[in-house]
Chain A
Amino acid sequence: MSATASAIAAPQVLAQGAQGTIDVPAIQYSALSPILIVFGVALAGVLVDAFAPARARRGIQPLLAAAGFVAAFVAVVLLHARRQVLAAGALAIDGPALFLEGAILLFALLAVLLVAERRLDSSGGAIVASAAITPGSPGATAQRSSAAVQTEAYPLMAFSVAGMLLFVSSNTLLIMFVALEILSLPLYLLAGLARRRRLLSQEAAMKYFLLGAFSSAFFIYGLAFIYGYAGSVSLGRIADAAGTVGANDTYLYLGVALLGIGLFFKVGAAPFHSWTPDVYQGSPTPITAFMAAGTKVAAFGALLRLFYVAFGGLRWDWRPIVWIIAILTMVVGAVLALTQRDIKRMLAYSAIAHAGFLLTGLAAANSDGLSGSLFYLVAYGFTTIATFALVTLVRTADGEASDLSQWQGLGRRSPLLAGIFAFLLLALAGIPLTSGFTGKFAVFEAAIAGDATPLVVVALVTSAIAAFFYVRVIVLMFFQEPGADGPIIVTRPTLTYAAVGIGAVVTLLLGVAPQPLLDLAGTAATSGFVR
C-alpha cells in the first residue's frame, strides 16, 4: 500500500532532485485492521508450520486460523460505520466493502471447521498427508491412512482470505490486481491437496492455475489500457475521465472488455466457466466449499465496485454485454447440470447458474441491484458451504460417494442427513421459506425495476430447469432402495455437523425472517461506494 503511495509521490521526488524525501501518506491502520489481522495470522501460521512439532501443529493451526478470522470479524463489526478512502486512495472502506468482508470472514470460519475435521474416516481428514509424495509410489498407499496432514493448508487459506478482503475494498485497479493474485495463488495450491483421488486433485490444480494465470494476464492488459486512457488506475479518476469526451475511446472500451474477462473468469460466468466443474470436482471438498462461497463473494464484490464506481457512467455500453453473459451463464449452468452424474460436478454447474442469477443484479445497475446482490451472496454462501459439508459426510469405502447412484436411498439410511440435504437443495433451487427464494426475489425485483425484465424471464425459466436436477437428487435419496455399495454415514464428525447445522439454520432464518439482513444490505448499499 505504501508502495502505491510512493507511485503517486514519485514524480515529486524526481522534481526535488537530491533531497530524496518521499511524502509518506498517513495510513489509518485501525480501518485496515481486518485485513492486517488476517495477514498477521497467515504469517504466524507459516512460522508455526516451520517451528512447531508436527503433532502440535495439527492442533495449533486450526485454532490460530479460527481465532484470527473471529478477531477480524469483530474488527469489521467495530468498523461498521466507517466510510473513508485510505492509503492515498488505494483502499476504500465503505458499506459494501465492510458487508462483504464480514461475509467472507464468516465463510472462512465455517471452511476452517470443515478442513479441521479429522473424524471422517480412519485417516486424518480431507487434506493430504504429504503433497510431495507421488501417487502410485510405494509411500502413497501408506499416506492415505497416515495421521499426518499438510497443515500448510491453514496459512494458505488465511493468505487467500486476506486477498479476498483486499479485493472487495480495493479502490485502484493495481491493488485489485495484486489482491486477485493474493487470493488466487494459494487457492491453486489448495486445489491440489486432496487426500484421496490425488490424480484428480493435481489435475484440478494444474487446470485452475493455467486458466487462472491466463485470465489474470487479460486483467493486467486491461489495466494497462485503462491507465493509457485515464492516466490513472484509481477508480474515481477513471470515472471522471470516462465522463468526458476523449479522443481515445478505443483504449477505454478495450480496457473494460479485458478487465471484464478477468473478473468474469473469477466468478465463473460463461463462456469463461470451463474451469469451474473440473476444479470443484478435483479439489478437497472443504476447499471446494471455501472456494465456492469465498471466491464468489470476493469476485462479485470487485465486479460490482468496478462496474458501479469506475464504469458507472458507461452503463449503457456495458449493460448489453452483461445481459448476454448473464443469459449464457444461466442457460449453460442449468442445462449442463442436468447431464451430470457426479454430485460435486452437478453442484459446480449449479454454482455457474447462480453466478448468472447474480449477474442479473449487476445488470439492474441500480442501488436495489447492489443490495439484492449483497444479500444473495451471503445467502448463497451459507447454503453452498453447508451443501459441500454434507457431501463430505456421505462416503463409501474409498472416500466420498461422488457418483449420484451411490446417494440412492440415503433417506432410508439416515433420514436426518438426507432431510437437511433436501432442504439445502431446495434453497439452491429457490423454493419459498428458504434464503434462496429471498435472494432471488431481491435481485429479480431490482432487475425489473432496472428495465431488465427479459433477463428476469430467462432467469425464471432457467430456475425451473435447475429445480429439476435438484429434485432429481431428492427423489433419488428418498424414493429408491439403497444399493449394495450404498453410502456409509460417518459417526460423530462434530465440526462438520456444526458447519452443516450453522449453514442450514442460516438458510432457514434468511428464508423465514430475512428482514434484518435485508436492512443491513440496504444500509450498506444506499450509503454506496466511496471513491
Chain B
Amino acid sequence: MNPANYLILAALLFTIGAVGVLLRRNAIVVFMCVELMLNAANLTLVTFSRINGTLDGQIMAFFVMVVAAAEVVIGLAIILTIFRTRRSASVDDVNLLKY
C-alpha cells in the first residue's frame, strides 16, 4: 500500500483537530482536539520513517507521546481548577480578560 495515503490520513486528522480547537466550546474537548493534532503528527513521523527508511521518526514519536502525557497532567489540572471555581468547563465562560 502506498505510504502517502497515511500522510493524507494524518493531514485529515490534523485538520479535524485544528478545526475542533477553533469551534468546540468545552475545554476538555478542545484539549482532546489538540491531542488529535499531536497524534496526527505522530502518524506523519512514523510514515516518513517508513518512507525514508530510517528509524528516527519512530523514536521521535515516543518523544511526542511523553510530551503529550506531560501536557495532559498540566492541562487537566488547570481545567479542573477552573471547573471547580465556575462549575463549567466551557471556554466561552472564561471571559473576564478581554479587549
Which residue of B37, B56, B96, B97 contacts A8 across the interface (Cβ within 8 Å)? B56
Shortest beta-carbon distance from B63 to chain A in Å? 6
Q: Are A185 and B82 touching (Cβ within 8 A)?
A: no
A47–B91 CA distance with the chains assembled, in angstroms: 35
Inter-subunit contact A278/B97 (CB<8 Å): yes
From B47, B63, B81, B97, give the contact of A174 (CB < 8 A): B63
Q: Mark A269-295, 1 if CB is under 8 A from B, else 0.
A: 000000001100110000000000000
Q: Which residues of B contact A281 (CB under 8 A)?
A: 97
Q: A7-B60, A177-B63, A221-B14 are in contact. Are A206 and B79 (CB under 8 A)?
A: yes
A210 interface hit (Cβ, 8 Å): yes
Establish whether residues B40 and A221, one from each chain, have CB atoms under 8 Å apart when the complex forms: yes
Which B residues, 54 to 91, have Cβ-Cβ distances below 8 Å to chain A? 54-57, 59-60, 63-64, 67, 70-71, 74-75, 77-79, 81-82, 84-85, 91
Mark interface residues in B11-45 (1 if CB within 8 Å of A CB, else 0). Answer: 00010011001000001001100100110110011
A99–B74 CA distance with the chains assembled, in angstroms: 31
Tier of interface size on chain B? 35 or more
Residue of A134, A174, A200, A206 with most chain B CB atoms under a 10 A cut-off: A206
Contacts of A277 in B (CB 8 A): 97
Do residues A217 and B41 form an inter-chain contact, with CB atoms below 8 A?
A: yes
- Expressed in whole angstroms, the Cα–Cα distance for A268 and B71 within the complex equals 21
Binds B, one of A102-110, A223-231, A326-334, A476-484: A223-231
Task: Determine if B94 is an interface residue (Cβ-Cβ < 8 Å).
Answer: yes
Distance in angstroms between the alpha carbons of A177 and B64 in the assembled complex: 9
Rounded to whole angstroms, the CA-CA distance of A192 and B74 in the bound complex is 11
Q: Give the CA-CA distance A282 to B78 in the complex, in Å.
A: 14
Q: Which residue of B lies closest to A224 (CB)?
A: B44
A202: min CB distance to chain B, Å = 5
Asked if B5 is at the interface (CB within 8 A of a chain A CB), the reply is no
Beyond A217-B38, A221-B44, whether A7 also contacts B56 by CB under 8 A is yes
- Residues in A with CB closer than 8 Å to B99 are 339
Contact assessment for A210 and B34 in the assembled complex, using a CB-CB cutoff below 8 Å: yes
**A218 to B67 Cα, complex, angstroms:** 14
Residue total for A at the interface (Cβ-Cβ under 8 A): 51
- Counting CB contacts under 8 A, is B2 at the interface? no
Q: Measured between alpha carbons, how far is A185 from B72 in the docked complex, in Å?
A: 10
Does A10 have its Cβ within 8 Å of any Cβ on chain B?
yes
| Residues B31 and A210 in contact, CB atoms below 8 Å apart | yes
Q: How far is the CB of B44 from chain A (nearest CB, A)?
A: 4
Q: Does A456 contact B (CB under 8 A)?
A: no
**Residue B8 is within 8 A (CB to CB) of chain A in the complex:** no
Q: How far is the CA of A132 from the CA of B81 in the complex (A)?
A: 7
- A205 vs B49: C-alpha distance when bound (angstroms): 36
Expressed in whole angstroms, the Cα–Cα distance for A135 and B82 within the complex equals 10
A14 close to B55 (CB less than 8 A): yes
CB of B85 within 8 A of CB of A227, answer no
**Is there contact, CB below 8 Å, between B34 and A224?**
no
Q: Are B97 and A227 in contact (CB under 8 A)?
A: no
| Contact call B34/A214, Cβ cutoff below 8 A | yes
A131: CB under 8 A from chain B? yes
CB distance from A527 to the nearest CB of B (A): 30
Contact residues in A for B45 (Cβ distance below 8 Å): 223-224, 227
**A1 CB to closest chain B CB, in angstroms?**
12
Would you call A7 and B44 a contact (CB within 8 A)? no
A136 contacts chain B at the CB level, 8 A cutoff: yes
Q: How far is the CB of A59 from chain B (nearest CB, A)?
A: 27
Contacts of A14 in B (CB 8 A): 55
On whether the beta carbons of A214 and B81 are closer than 8 Å, the reply is: no
Report if A138 contacts B (CB, 8 A).
no
With an 8 A cutoff between CB atoms, is A203 at the interface? yes
* Docked complex Cα distance between A207 and B78 (Å): 10
> Please, which residues of chain B bring their CB within 8 A of the CB of A131?
81
Contact B78 A206 (CB under 8 A): yes
Interface status of A204 (Cβ within 8 A of chain B): yes
Residues of A within 8 A of B59 (CB): 3, 6-7, 10
Q: Is A199 an interface residue (CB 8 A)?
A: yes
Least Cβ–Cβ distance between B37 and chain A, in angstroms: 4
Closest partner residue, chain A, to B44 (CB atom): A224
* Residues in B whose Cβ lies below 8 Å from that of A218: 37
Q: Of A136, A220, A223, A225, which is in contact with the most chain B CB atoms at under 10 Å from its CB?
A: A220
**Distance, CA A227 to CA B78, complexed state (A):** 33
Binding site for A on B (CB under 8 A): 7, 14, 17-18, 21, 27, 30-31, 34, 37-38, 40-41, 44-45, 47-49, 51-52, 54-57, 59-60, 63-64, 67, 70-71, 74-75, 77-79, 81-82, 84-85, 91, 94, 96-99
Closest 3 CB pairs of A and B: A228-B48, A217-B37, A224-B44
A-B contact pairs, 14 of them (CB 8 A): A11-B55, A181-B70, A188-B78, A198-B85, A202-B94, A203-B94, A205-B81, A209-B78, A210-B27, A216-B71, A217-B18, A221-B14, A221-B40, A227-B57
